[in-house]
Amino acid sequence: MGKLIKYEFRKSWMVKAIILAITAIFEVMFLVGAISGNDDVALSSAVFLTFITICSIFIIGVLSIFILHKDLNTKQSYMLFMTPNSTFKILGAKIIENFGSILLFSAMFLLIGIGDITLWVAKSKGVKDMFNIINAILGEFGEDYQLDFFNVAISSAEQIVSWVFTIMVGFFAVVLSASFLNGRKFNGFISFIVFLVVTYIIEKIFYCSTNMIFGTATGYSLEKTICSIVYYIVLTVVLYIVTASIMDRKLSV
């Protein structure tokens, strides 16, 4: 399994290295701007860093779906499927590698963000009450929303888990297109529709059930977030088992 993960990482490291390089450039710009007191440079770098954070988590996920597509539909599929590894291991390695990457990148961006904000607050007297200001803004949305490290971490975890689940649905759709729908007309289109429908249904179920349990689907509460994390983890595992079983029984590469 370790070796499979190693090669999964090998397939995507280039993109990840580029993301790291770009992040490093803007981080250096931010530091230079913050330390030299050039607010324009520092703030625009901060905007870019935020943008990179969102983009890279998205890109890493989408990339892994593309890699799976290539691993199932080109001759390179033999590289995986000639080895004595079960489809559960092959797919599992992909999910673990992807989840790991997203987790590490999220942690990195989170730490950079906290570091940068701390530095900014320490440096610039005018924005000393940054957290207070942010909390004041957030307070408009939900009464319980308090920005502290724990809450940031737990909501990030929710975002990560639900994103990993979305990628899993992508894997499921790609496998479906390469197995049941293989060689049929509009197979790519049908599997994309499947992707949208599954994602929509799952979201809808979550929305309705939280509405029923907590009385409201909007706003923030710790219990709701934890429920959401558990919900997406369970669904990811279920979909993983379903997808690997389809690969095992129906997939011809």
Q: Where do contacts with another protein occur on this chain (CB under 8 A)?
A: 3, 6-7, 10-11, 75-79, 81-86, 182-184, 249-253
User: Residue 52 Cβ, how far from another protein at the closest point, in Å?
Assistant: 25
End-to-end alpha carbon distance in the chain: 21
Residue closer to another protein (CB basis): 74 or 211: 74
Closest CA to 235 of 191, 201, 190, 193: 201
Residue closer to another protein (CB basis): 180 or 214: 180
User: Residue 42 Cβ, how far from another protein at the closest point, in Å?
Assistant: 38
Residue closer to another protein (CB basis): 1 or 226: 1
Closest CA to 45 of 107, 102, 111, 117: 117
Quickly list DSSP for 109-157. Answer: HHHHHHHHHHHHHHH-GGGTTHHHHHHHHHHTT-TT---SHHHHHHHHH
User: Residue 253 Cβ, how far from another protein at the closest point, in Å?
Assistant: 5
Alpha carbon distance 49, 61 (integer Å): 18
Residue closer to another protein (CB basis): 186 or 200: 186
Alpha carbon distance 92, 86 (integer Å): 10
User: H-helix or E-strand containing 49?
Assistant: helix 39-73
Residue closer to another protein (CB basis): 131 or 180: 180
Contact status, residue 94 vs residue 175, Cβ threshold 8 Å: no
Alpha carbon distance 104, 250 (integer Å): 34
Dihedral sign computed on CA atoms, order 59, 194, 70, 249: positive
Residue closer to another protein (CB basis): 161 or 246: 246
User: Residue 86 Cβ, how far from another protein at the closest point, in Å?
Assistant: 5
User: Residue 88 Cβ, how far from another protein at the closest point, in Å?
Assistant: 10
Alpha carbon distance 84, 251 (integer Å): 16
User: Residue 250 Cβ, how far from another protein at the closest point, in Å?
Assistant: 7
